[in-house]
A and B are shown apart, each in its own frame.
Chain A
Amino acid sequence: MITIDLKENSVLPGGMRQTEVCFECSVCALHCIVQHVAGFDSKNTFVYDLFRSDDPAVHRALWACSSCHKCVEVCPQDVDPLSVIVHLREKGFNEGRAPAYVYDLVKLVLETGYAFPITKKTQKDREELGLSAPDSSAVGEIRCIASRTGFLEKLK
């Protein structure tokens, strides 16, 4: 039984009722990297497991998906699992229930402008190649954006 959208208090907005048409054909699992996570198989793919979950916004593999879109491309029922995944991630994040590393990454981007930490090795390697130090001049603007969208407030 697919519970994600049939329960009265569905976690998905009304426009995403497409999950109800999933007939569990397993095609979504053919190219899915999350299938490598222990416990998923052709009878219980990552996508079904997510759809059946009682609390999908904190599903154990929700953030392991690379958003490669291949499940969307192959699904014969046009279920679009990725849009469900993206929605659930945002819900979990807003509730403070996303993995800690996600909050850390978001903060790193908003503090430095980059998704990876600038290290002494970075500076040494770039200097040796005649490249200038990583520039963080965008930080002021992206923090301004995050402030105006209310995102900075959410991070507090």
Chain B
Amino acid sequence: MSFPMERNNDRHTAQHRYLLFPGCLASIRFPRLVYLARRLFPELGIEVTETESFSCCPDPVRLRGADRFTSLAIAARNLAVAGETGLPVITLCPSCTLTLAEAGRELKSDHGLLRKVNDVLAGCGRELSGIPPVSHFLKVLYESPGPAGLRDMVRRPLKGIALSYHSGCHENSPPDILRFDNPFNPRKNEELLDAIGARVVDYKEKSACCGSPLSLDGRMDDSLSAVALKVEDMRRCGAEALVVGCASCFQQFEIGQVMARRKGLLDAPLPVFHFIEVLALAMGYGSEAIDVSAHKVKGAGTAARLLRGEVS
């Protein structure tokens, strides 16, 4: 079995071309993120191609929990689809990144397992012969154009709005698979925020989860207390809004803050932005950068103006 992309996995060999893996949540509930990624990434030197052949990555908690081998084989099928294009994969979702990168690593290191998976895939018309690298879009951006390059590309810097960055569970952990930033004190995405003109606000609870897995498990009060813990910490440290790189965290902070407020668990919610939205605003996009219906927390001042697509 050969792994041509493993031997030659410098993403620059594909002239910054990637295959986009948008993920279920962005595709189904927040399609504006997909729309923005398609338009925005090429302006940053990242050409994206798409395929309609991908399925759910699959979900690293429930599908993987239900049946590890089937989950691995479905992930392997997605890798095979990508491998057929010869392109590295860029994702919009940290969890998809982890599922696919972890499957790739497992299959690269265990040829017996790869044969077993390929036996399954062969009966369904696929073969995994080259395992492409898989990266979340913020890692791709950090590597090229990088913070300095991005600063030069920005057309409308965010003029010092105070933003805190929330790191999703699977953005940096496990580090030996994702190979990006320190999961306990991540800084790189803050450097990107700084590059687009924001004033980054550090806070204590940086490594805490948004609480989304608790709400998925039906533990709403526990989930809302996790939301309140982070948001109150960010606000106390001076943030006017928070930014995420994960659609699931985005959904959790939007809906969670509304519900936490109703239950009296949170006094003052913060507007939430997906990184792609603030990036689009900094690149000169107006109100089309924002899906108004997805933003339940409107905020005030500069953050409220940003939500209307106004940077100045």
Could you tell me which A residues sit within 8 Å of B by CB distance?
Answer: 31, 33-34, 36-38, 61, 63-70, 72-73, 86, 89-90, 93, 98-99, 101-103, 105-106, 109, 113-119, 122, 125-126, 129-132, 134-135, 137-139, 141-142, 144-146, 148-149, 151, 154
Which B residues touch A65, using CB under 8 A? Answer: 61, 213
In the assembled complex, the CB of A69 is this many whole angstroms from the nearest CB of chain B, namely 4
B297 adjacent to chain A (CB < 8 Å): no
Which B residues touch A89, using CB under 8 A? Answer: 64-66
Is B67 a contact of A122 with CB atoms below 8 Å?
A: no
> Which of B27, B65, B73, B184 counts the most chain A CB atoms within 10 A?
B65
Could you tell me which B residues sit within 8 Å of A by CB distance?
Answer: 24-25, 27-29, 31-32, 34-35, 52-56, 58-70, 73-74, 77, 120-121, 123-126, 169-170, 173-175, 183-184, 207-209, 211-214, 216-219, 222-223, 225-226, 291, 293
Which B residues touch A90, using CB under 8 A? Answer: 65-68
| Measured CA separation A138–B77 after assembly (Å) | 10
Is B126 a contact of A116 with CB atoms below 8 Å?
A: no
- Please report the number of residue pairs spanning A and B whose Cβ atoms sit closer than 8 angstroms: 178
In the assembled complex, the CB of B164 is this many whole angstroms from the nearest CB of chain A, namely 18
Is B66 a contact of A68 with CB atoms below 8 Å?
A: no
A37 touching B70 in the complex, CB below 8 Å, given contacts A67-B61, A70-B184, A115-B58: no
In the assembled complex, the CB of A12 is this many whole angstroms from the nearest CB of chain B, namely 14
In the assembled complex, the CB of A116 is this many whole angstroms from the nearest CB of chain B, namely 4
Give 4 closest A-B pairs by Cβ, nearest first.
Answer: A89-B65, A33-B209, A68-B169, A138-B55
Majority SS of interface residues in chain B?
A: helix
Which B residues touch A130, using CB under 8 A? Answer: 35
Is A98 a contact of B24 with CB atoms below 8 Å?
A: no
Is A154 a contact of B56 with CB atoms below 8 Å?
A: no
The residue that B31 contacts in the complex, of A68, A73, A122, with Cβ under 8 A, is A122
Which B residues touch A151, using CB under 8 A? Answer: 66-67, 70
| Measured CA separation A31–B230 after assembly (Å) | 13
Can you list 26 residue pairs at the A/B interface with Cβ under 8 Å? Answer: A33-B209, A33-B214, A36-B211, A36-B219, A37-B219, A63-B65, A63-B217, A64-B219, A67-B64, A69-B183, A70-B173, A86-B65, A90-B66, A90-B67, A101-B216, A114-B28, A115-B24, A117-B28, A118-B28, A122-B31, A125-B293, A141-B125, A142-B74, A144-B124, A145-B121, A149-B73
| Measured CA separation A67–B102 after assembly (Å) | 12
Which A residues touch B29, using CB under 8 A? Answer: 116, 122
The residue that A102 contacts in the complex, of B25, B35, B62, with Cβ under 8 A, is B62
Which A residues touch B120, using CB under 8 A? Answer: 145, 148-149
| Measured CA separation A111–B293 after assembly (Å) | 28
The residue that A146 contacts in the complex, of B25, B70, B223, B291, with Cβ under 8 A, is B70
> Which of A98, A102, A132, A134 counts the most chain B CB atoms within 10 A?
A102
8 other A-B residue contacts (CB within 8 Å) besides A131-B31, A137-B53, A138-B55 = A33-B209, A33-B211, A68-B209, A86-B68, A102-B62, A102-B65, A131-B34, A145-B77
| Measured CA separation A64–B221 after assembly (Å) | 13
